[in-house]
Structure 1
Amino acid sequence: MDIQAENKKEFGIPKSAMAIFSVASVLFSAHAGGGFATGNQENTYFVSLGWSGIISLVLAMFLLTMTMREAMIMYNKFNLKSHKELFEKLYHPFDKLEILFEVFFDIMVVMAVAAAVSGAASALQQYLGWNYYVSIVIVGAIILCLTIFGAGVVRKASTYMGIAIMFCVLIIYIVGIRKAGNFGVVMSASFARQGFSQVPHAIGNAFTYAGFQCVTLPTMLACGAIFSGNKNHAEAKSMTVSFIMNTIALGLAVIMLMCWQSTYGSSEAGMVLPTLTTLKSMHMGWMMAIYGITLILCLTSTGVTTTFAFVSRFENSKIFSKVENPVKRRMAISAFIIILSMTISLVGLTNIIKYGYGYCGYLAIAIVVIPFLTVGVYKNRKA
């Protein structure tokens, strides 16, 4: 696709604008995964902070999109070919430090895909009454099919899933907030109780949250390569769009769960699946139907983008050099990471998000977020 071909259109929209939106949707679709759809992620990192959780989530999305923006700009500006080269460029003259990202990435991919699998097992079993193993196989098969045909398919799939997810979550969360009708009371009570005591914790959670979301960086580089050679700040525009999408969706999710915290917080099952528990208490069948669609899309979207990040890293490695067919090569890598993640998912969704995501997030603050927002900005501007 020629990003600068303004006169060419797709669905009546200039292809340059579609490219910007599609890359923005990749990050949104990756973020809107199993932890997001179940509400477990929001509850763990933001809801417990009260009113300062709103500040925290906005800061988290700002840090995430700015990090991805600088990473894509550096990748395209210096014509780099892999995220290994990117981190060598970022850390130069300490090139060998790029191994730190490799460690973070490998662990976080397993955690992210495991969260999608665990979310499928927990939610689909309760929501649709499906067999645990059937749910895993179905989600795994969809992820496998969408990750073996390259960045173009991932970008298109993420665009369509992103649009559908955004549409669904807007309906679910806005209706949920209006039905609760107590947002002002909850915020006032939270501020009266906590004051500014939770603000330092909110800032820390923002960095941690943005940190573990950086697992999608290799996927963003592969999809953002479409902007290579473009001089219209397309990377920045795409991340501005992504910031708006992610902040609106996450903000509405957190606000709704704050309003219904007393409902889902009274049981262990409710704490694992806050959104599902909340919607059940509303007794609105059509909302449950929309949530079912959203849940499946969210589980699939994160699984696809994260697994593809792993595939794009290893598909050209020496280990698979004897497999000439690229589709078979990607299939083997995807199958490996999906099976491994299925095993990890047995520890449960809450433990994966609280401990697996948490510790990976701490590491990413030091090796991804801060370096790109300091050294990365300097090197990009200097170039």
Structure 2
Amino acid sequence: MSGNSDSRWGVCCSVAFVWFATHFGGGFASGRQLVDFYVKYGWYAVFTPILSVGLIALVLWCAWQFAVRHGVYDYHSWSVRYFEPLGWLEPVFSMLIEAMYLIILLLATGVAFATGGTVLNHIFPDIPYHVGTVGLAVLILSLTIWGSGTVRKASTVMSLLIIAGMLVIYSSNLVANFPRLLQVMRELPEAEGGFWPALWQSVKYAALQCSLVGAYTAVADGLRTARDVNRTTLLGFCVNAGMLTLASVGALLHFPAILSERAPVTYITQHGGGGALGVVLVSALILLAVVSTGVGLIYGSTRRITAWWSARTGRPASRKVDVAASAVYVVASWCVASYGLIPLIAKGYAWVGAMSAPLIVAPILLVAFWRVLRTARTPAVAAEG
């Protein structure tokens, strides 16, 4: 019995780590997203990351519970079934889920390739930028064609390495600059307008991550029960909220100087006691972020294609279909990175977050609330009958 329980906990941990590994992208690793969404609002960055992850956790809990109960894991099948109560609006929201996922797939994975290629070129000047991005593309492709089990295992290993690296960088930074945090906490964030803009920005960050719901449902086939979903959500919340808050507070220590930095994590390392080890860790974290985000997003899209193929042909998709589907998305994302669309992509994150709040997050929560109310009323109706 204990062994079985340990096994279930292991699966829950692995799904939670897919959440973290996908969440930890190039923008998170470089620190630029932290500054744009949290730190520029001053001391609110101490708690607004927790609000963001709390909202993400609520949405993922709804998505996972439904996926496990109905056995739908690719994001198209999931969205079609999930939004059935909306009647004629169901196709609209299903299409929105699809469109937003594809947009963020190209944006985030394109940024990942571009960032990773730049880092590799910086570490190994003899390796051309495009050769580095091709190498990363091959690595991501090789990790996405063997099914959700491989994705979960790879994400678990990468997550543990990322967490260890972040603890080294940001803990040493916190120790070296703690008095500065107290000073920042006493200052009001006048430049950005106070609490409400900070709150809205944290909601946009959560909505941006929720647009990736398809990547998270794709690996939920390892979960079996509502208890598994509860455990996964709690573990994922603790890991993501803890790391996001630690990184945001670490960047906040250098407010307001850090606001103008293109790669804030480099500034943090230079002023946080990391030394040469910190420089190496930063490069390693960014490369891990590239791979971890790419694997989660590409696999979510691959699962969508293989489910469509199975429904069309009446038989399970072959390995060739897996490889072909993954390759299409890898090449498309690589092309985005190759054309140097980083400024456009950076603006795209804010746009996707603002659009996802009303078009993805709100409908998912409203449908979940409606189902809770319907379930609560059912026993009373049955009793009366």
Shared fold per TM-score greater than 0.5: yes
Which deviates more from structure 2 when the two are superposed, residues 361-370 or residues 244-253? 361-370
Question: Is structure 2 residue 347 aligned with structure 1 residue 361?
Answer: no
Structure-2 separation of matches of 1:225 and 1:164: 24
Percentage of identical aligned residues: 22
Which deviates more from structure 2 when the two are superposed, residues 366-375 or residues 109-118? 366-375
- Pick the aligned partner of 1:52 from 27, 44, 50: 44
Alignment of 1:286-365 (within 5 A): 286-318=277-309, 326-345=318-337, 346-353=339-346, 355-365=347-357
Question: Is structure 2 residue 230 aligned with structure 1 residue 274?
Answer: no
Question: Is structure 2 residue 154 aligned with structure 1 residue 163?
Answer: no
Structure-2 separation of matches of 1:88 and 1:119: 35
Cα 1:114–1:81 change in 2 (3 A) is: closer
Structure-2 separation of matches of 1:30 and 1:350: 21
SS in 1 for 2:307: coil
Give structure 1 regions of 4+ aligned residues with deviation exceeding 6 angstroms.
319-325
Q: Is the 8 A contact 2:184 2:255 kept in 1?
A: no
Question: Is structure 2 residue 97 aligned with structure 1 residue 101?
Answer: yes
Q: Kindly state the Cα deviation for residue 127 of structure 1 after the two structures are TM-superposed.
A: 4.6
Cα 1:255–1:125 change in 2 (3 A) is: farther
User: What TM-score, normalized by structure 1, do the two folds share?
Assistant: 0.87
Which deviates more from structure 2 when the two are superposed, residues 307-316 or residues 339-348? 339-348
Structure-2 separation of matches of 1:205 and 1:243: 19
Question: Is structure 2 residue 187 aligned with structure 1 residue 186?
Answer: no
Per-residue CA deviations over 1:20-47 (Å, capped at 9, x if unaligned) read: 1111111011111111111111111111
- Pick the aligned partner of 1:174 from 171, 181, 185: 171
Structure-1 separation of matches of 2:27 and 2:192: 27
Q: Kindly state the Cα deviation for residue 160 of structure 1 after the two structures are TM-superposed.
A: 1.2
Structure 1 spans left out of the alignment, 5+ residues: none
Structure-2 separation of matches of 1:380 and 1:148: 37
SS in 1 for 2:72: coil
Aligned to 2:67: 75
Q: Is the 8 A contact 1:45 1:209 kept in 2?
A: yes
Structure-1 separation of matches of 2:334 and 2:214: 22
Q: Is the 8 A contact 1:40 1:350 kept in 2?
A: no
Structure-1 separation of matches of 2:115 and 2:135: 13
SS in 1 for 2:183: helix
Cα 1:380–1:331 change in 2 (3 A) is: farther
Structure-1 separation of matches of 2:372 and 2:305: 27
Q: Kindly state the Cα deviation for residue 151 of structure 1 after the two structures are TM-superposed.
A: 0.5
Question: Is structure 2 residue 12 aligned with structure 1 residue 20?
Answer: yes
- Pick the aligned partner of 1:137 from 115, 134, 137: 134
Q: How many residues end up aligned between the 2 structures? A: 366
Structure-2 separation of matches of 1:195 and 1:113: 32
Q: Partner letter of residue 236 of structure 2? A: S
Note the aligned Cα RMSD (angstroms).
2.5
Q: Kindly state the Cα deviation for residue 312 of structure 1 after the two structures are TM-superposed.
A: 0.7
Per-residue CA deviations over 1:158-207 (Å, capped at 9, x if unaligned) read: 11111111111011111112223311112212x2x539942111221122
Structure-1 separation of matches of 2:95 and 2:311: 21
Aligned to 1:253: 247
Which deviates more from structure 2 when the two are superposed, residues 179-188 or residues 119-128? 119-128
Cα 1:195–1:34 change in 2 (3 A) is: closer
SS in 2 for 1:7: helix
- Pick the aligned partner of 1:285 from 273, 276, 288: 276
Question: Is structure 2 residue 238 aligned with structure 1 residue 244?
Answer: yes
Q: Is the 8 A contact 1:320 1:329 kept in 2?
A: no
Cα 1:263–1:201 change in 2 (3 A) is: closer
Q: Is the 8 A contact 1:109 1:215 kept in 2?
A: no
Q: Kindly state the Cα deviation for residue 297 of structure 1 after the two structures are TM-superposed.
A: 1.3
Alignment of 1:363-382 (within 5 A): 363-380=355-372, 382=374
Q: Is the 8 A contact 1:70 1:377 kept in 2?
A: no
Structure-1 separation of matches of 2:149 and 2:38: 34
Q: Is the 8 A contact 2:27 2:33 kept in 1?
A: yes
Structure 2 spans left out of the alignment, 5+ residues: 376-385
SS in 2 for 1:160: helix
Q: Is the 8 A contact 1:215 1:306 kept in 2?
A: no
Q: Partner letter of residue 78 of structure 1? A: H
Q: Kindly state the Cα deviation for residue 291 of structure 1 after the two structures are TM-superposed.
A: 2.2
Q: Is the 8 A contact 1:70 1:380 kept in 2?
A: no
